[in-house]
Structure 1
Amino acid sequence: MTQAPTTARQTALERFKELMRELLQLDLADLDFGIYRLLNARRSEVEAFLSEELPRKVDEAFAGMTDAEREAAAAEAERLAHRAREALGDDAFLAGDQPNPTYVATPSMRAYVAARERLDGIVATDEQKAEVFNHLHAFLSRYYDAGDFIPHRRYGRHEAYAVPYNGEETLFHWVNRDQHYVKTGERFRDYAFRIAGADMRVRFSLVSATTARDNTKGETRYFFPLTDDVSWDADANRLTVPFEYRLPTGAELTGTTGAKLQEALLADAVDAIGHHAPDAATRAALIAPDPNRPGDDAPLLLRHLRHFAKRNTTDYFIHRDLGGFLRGELEFYLKDQVVHLADLDGDLGPRQRMLRVVRELAQVIIGFLAEIEDAQRRLFEKRKFVLRTDYLVTIRCIDRDVWPRIAANEDQRRAWRELFAIEPDEIGADEAALSAFFESHPTLVVDTRHFDEAFRDDLLATFDDLDGMTDGLLVHGENYQALRLLGPTLAGKVKCIYIDPPYNTGNDGFIYKDRYRHSSWLAMMSERLRLARDILSDDGVLFVSIDDNEVHDLDMVLRQEFGEERYIGSIVRATGTTTGQGSGSLGKSYEFVLAYAASQDADVGGIALTAKDQLRYRGEDTRGRYSTLLLRRTGNQDRREDRPSMFYPLEAPDGSEVWPIGPTGYESRWRVGPRRYRAMVENDLIHWNRDEDRWVPYFKFYLEGRTKRPSNLWTDLAGNKKASIELRDLFGSRPFETPKPMALVRRLIEISMNDDGTILDFFAGSGTSGHAAIDMNRIDGGRRKFTLVDFGQYIGNLLVGRIQRAMYSPDWSRGKPARLPAESEIYNSPMIVKFVRLESYEDTMHNVRASDWPQLRGAFDSAVEESQGLLNADGLERPFEYEIEVLTDDGPRKQKVDLVETFNLAYGVHIERIQVWTNEVDRRRYRAASGHKDGHRLLILWRDMVEPPLDPQVERTFLEERIEPGAYDEVLINGDSAVPGITSLDPIFKRLIEEDR
Structure 2
Amino acid sequence: MSIKSEKFIDLLKQMFEIDKAELDFGIYRIINYKRNVINKFLNEDLQSSLETQIKKIDSNADGIEDSIYSHLTTFFGRYYDEGDFISQRRYKDGAYAIPYNGEEVKLYWANYDQYYIKSSENFKDYSFKAGDKKISFKLVEADTELNNNKSLEGNKYFVLDDSKEFISVNNNELIIKFQFKVLPKSNKQEKLNGEILESILDKLKANPEYADYLLEVQQLRPTDKNKKRTLLEMELSNYTAKNSFDYFIHKDLGGFLRRELDFYIKNEVINLDYYDTTSEKELMTTLAIGKVISNIGKKIIEFLEQIENFQKKLWLKKKFVIDTNYCITLDRIDKKFYKEIIENKEQQNAWKELFKIEEEITLENINGNKYLLVDTKFFNDEFKEKLIANFENLDKECDGLLIHSDNYQALNLIKNKYEKNIKNIYIDPPYNANSSEILYKNTYKHSSWLSMMNDRLNISKYLLKDNGVLTVAIDENEQEKLGLLLSEIYPNYKKDAIAVVHNPSGKQGTNFSYTHEYSYFVYPQNGRFIGLQERNEGEEDVRNFRDVTGKESLREAGANCFYPIYIKDNEIIGFGEVCDKNFHPNGVNVLRNDGIIEIYPIDPKGIERKWRFARNTVEEIKNELIINYIDNRNIYDIKRVKNKFNFKTCWSDSKYSANNYGTQVLNSIMGKEVFSYPKSINTVKDSIIAATNYEKNIITLDFFAGSGTTGNAILELNREDKGNRKYILVEMGKYFYTATKPRIEKVIYSKEWKNGKPVDREGISHMFKYIELEQYEDSLNNIEFDKDDKQLTYFNDEEREEYTLSYMLDFETKKSSTFLNIDKLRNPFEYKLKIERNDETKYRNVDLIETFNYLLGLNVEQISSKESYDYDGENIEKYFDGQFTFKRVEGKLNDGSKVLVIWRNLTDDIKIDNNVLNKYFEKKRIDVFEYDYIYVNGDNTLEITARDNHKIKLIDQEFKKLMFEDIE
Q: What is the DSSP-based 3-state SS (H/G/I as helix, E as strand, rest coil) of the residue aligned with 1:794?
A: helix
Cα offset, 1:207, TM superposition: 2.4
For the 8 Å contact 2:546–2:601, the answer to whether it is kept is no
CA change 1:568–1:696 in 2 (3 A) is: farther
- List per-residue Cα deviations over 1:35-89 (Å, max 9, x = no partner): 11121122222222222211211122234x54xxxxxxxxxxxxxxxxxxxxxxx
- List per-residue Cα deviations over 1:831-858 (Å, max 9, x = no partner): 3100100011101011113444546333
For the 8 Å contact 1:461–1:915, the answer to whether it is kept is yes
Match of 2:926 in 1: 964
Match of 1:410 in 2: 345
Cα offset, 1:881, TM superposition: 1.0
- List per-residue Cα deviations over 1:284-343 (Å, max 9, x = no partner): 442454368895223332222122101111000000110011111111101110111233
Mapping for residues 729-748 of structure 1, pairs under 5 Å: 729-748=668-687
Q: 2:316 and 2:678 mapped to 1: Cα distance?
A: 30
CA change 1:708–1:274 in 2 (3 A) is: same
Match of 1:477 in 2: 405
Cα offset, 1:679, TM superposition: 9.6
- Structure number with larger C-alpha Rg: 1
Question: Which has the higher mean CA deviation after the structures are superposed, 674-683 or 225-234?
Answer: 674-683
For the 8 Å contact 2:166–2:178, the answer to whether it is kept is no
Q: What is the DSSP-based 3-state SS (H/G/I as helix, E as strand, rest coil) of the residue aligned with 1:507?
A: helix
Of the three residues 199, 207, 229, the one matched with 2:132 is: 199
Mapping for residues 239-278 of structure 1, pairs under 5 Å: 239-248=174-183, 256-259=186-189, 261-275=191-205, 278=209
Match of 1:842 in 2: 777
CA change 1:654–1:300 in 2 (3 A) is: closer
Gaps of 5+ in 1: 1-5, 67-121, 618-626
CA change 1:653–1:520 in 2 (3 A) is: closer
Match of 1:19 in 2: 11
Of the three residues 780, 802, 811, the one matched with 2:752 is: 811
CA change 1:295–1:908 in 2 (3 A) is: same
For the 8 Å contact 1:220–1:247, the answer to whether it is kept is yes
For the 8 Å contact 2:193–2:236, the answer to whether it is kept is no
Match of 1:97 in 2: none
Question: Which has the higher mean CA deviation after the structures are superposed, 897-906 or 853-862?
Answer: 853-862
Gaps of 5+ in 2: 563-580, 592-597, 793-799, 877-881, 947-951
- List per-residue Cα deviations over 1:481-512 (Å, max 9, x = no partner): 00000111111221111111000013215111
Give the aligned residue type for 2:665.
E
Of the three residues 267, 272, 282, the one matched with 1:336 is: 267
For the 8 Å contact 1:851–1:859, the answer to whether it is kept is no
Match of 1:788 in 2: 729
Cα offset, 1:217, TM superposition: 3.0
Q: 2:908 and 2:682 mapped to 1: Cα distance?
A: 55
Same amino acid, percent of matched pairs: 32
Of the three residues 862, 867, 888, the one matched with 2:816 is: 867
Task: State yes or no: 1:712 paired with 2:649.
Answer: yes
Match of 1:990 in 2: 960
CA change 1:586–1:662 in 2 (3 A) is: farther
Give the aligned residue type for 1:741.
S
For the 8 Å contact 1:735–1:798, the answer to whether it is kept is yes
Q: 1:143 and 1:38 mapped to 2: Cα distance?
A: 23
Task: State yes or no: 1:390 paired with 2:312.
Answer: no
Cα offset, 1:175, TM superposition: 1.2
Of the three residues 27, 35, 39, the one matched with 1:43 is: 35
Cα offset, 1:191, TM superposition: 1.7
For the 8 Å contact 1:572–1:593, the answer to whether it is kept is yes
For the 8 Å contact 2:502–2:517, the answer to whether it is kept is yes
Match of 2:900 in 1: 939
Q: 1:331 and 1:880 mapped to 2: Cα distance?
A: 52
Give the aligned residue type for 2:16.
L
Q: 1:399 and 1:49 mapped to 2: Cα distance?
A: 65
For the 8 Å contact 1:939–1:968, the answer to whether it is kept is yes
Task: State yes or no: 1:906 paired with 2:855.
Answer: yes
Match of 2:503 in 1: 576
Q: 1:682 and 1:462 mapped to 2: Cα distance?
A: 45
Match of 1:319 in 2: 250
Q: 1:646 and 1:745 mapped to 2: Cα distance?
A: 39
Give the aligned residue type for 1:269.
S
For the 8 Å contact 1:572–1:590, the answer to whether it is kept is yes
Give the aligned residue type for 2:45.
E
Match of 1:458 in 2: 386
Mapping for residues 61-72 of structure 1, pairs under 5 Å: 61-63=53-55, 65-66=56-57
For the 8 Å contact 1:190–1:204, the answer to whether it is kept is yes
Q: Please give the TM-score of this superposition, normalised by the length of structure 2.
A: 0.87
Give the aligned residue type for 1:960.
E
For the 8 Å contact 1:474–1:787, the answer to whether it is kept is yes
- List per-residue Cα deviations over 1:436-479 (Å, max 9, x = no partner): x2211111100000000000111011110010100000000000
Of the three residues 937, 943, 949, the one matched with 1:974 is: 937
Cα offset, 1:907, TM superposition: 1.1
Cα offset, 1:968, TM superposition: 1.5
Mapping for residues 225-374 of structure 1, pairs under 5 Å: 225-226=160-161, 228-233=164-169, 235=171, 237-248=172-183, 256-259=186-189, 261-275=191-205, 278-287=209-218, 289-290=220-221, 296-342=227-273, 343=275, 344-347=277-280, 348-374=283-309
Give the aligned residue type for 2:330.
I
CA change 1:394–1:57 in 2 (3 A) is: same
CA change 1:417–1:293 in 2 (3 A) is: farther
CA change 1:701–1:368 in 2 (3 A) is: same
Cα offset, 1:272, TM superposition: 4.0
Mapping for residues 368-517 of structure 1, pairs under 5 Å: 368-423=303-358, 425-428=359-362, 431=363, 433=364, 437-517=365-445
Q: 2:415 and 2:619 mapped to 1: Cα distance?
A: 48
For the 8 Å contact 1:231–1:240, the answer to whether it is kept is yes
Q: 2:528 and 2:59 mapped to 1: Cα distance?
A: 71
Mapping for residues 374-773 of structure 1, pairs under 5 Å: 374-423=309-358, 425-428=359-362, 431=363, 433=364, 437-563=365-491, 565-583=492-510, 585-597=511-523, 600=526, 603-614=529-540, 616-617=541-542, 627-632=543-548, 634=550, 651-653=586-588, 670-671=610-611, 699-702=638-641, 706-716=643-653, 717-721=655-659, 722-753=661-692, 754-773=695-714
Paired residues in the alignment total 894
CA change 1:676–1:289 in 2 (3 A) is: closer
Give the aligned residue type for 1:718.
Y
For the 8 Å contact 1:568–1:597, the answer to whether it is kept is yes
Cα offset, 1:892, TM superposition: 2.3
- List per-residue Cα deviations over 1:344-367 (Å, max 9, x = no partner): 443221111011111011110000
Cα offset, 1:651, TM superposition: 4.0
Q: 1:574 and 1:402 mapped to 2: Cα distance?
A: 49
Q: 2:744 and 2:616 mapped to 1: Cα distance?
A: 50
CA change 1:920–1:56 in 2 (3 A) is: closer
Cα offset, 1:150, TM superposition: 0.4
- List per-residue Cα deviations over 1:903-942 (Å, max 9, x = no partner): 1012110111111333343622211011111211111111
Match of 1:928 in 2: 888
Q: What is the DSSP-based 3-state SS (H/G/I as helix, E as strand, rest coil) of the residue aligned with 2:502?
A: strand
Match of 1:167 in 2: 102
Q: 1:632 and 1:938 mapped to 2: Cα distance?
A: 62
Q: 2:616 and 2:193 mapped to 1: Cα distance?
A: 82
Give the aligned residue type for 1:709.
N
CA change 1:681–1:687 in 2 (3 A) is: farther
For the 8 Å contact 1:219–1:247, the answer to whether it is kept is yes
Give the aligned residue type for 2:500.
R
User: Over aligned residues, Cα RMSD in angstroms?
Assistant: 3.2
Q: 1:472 and 1:975 mapped to 2: Cα distance?
A: 33
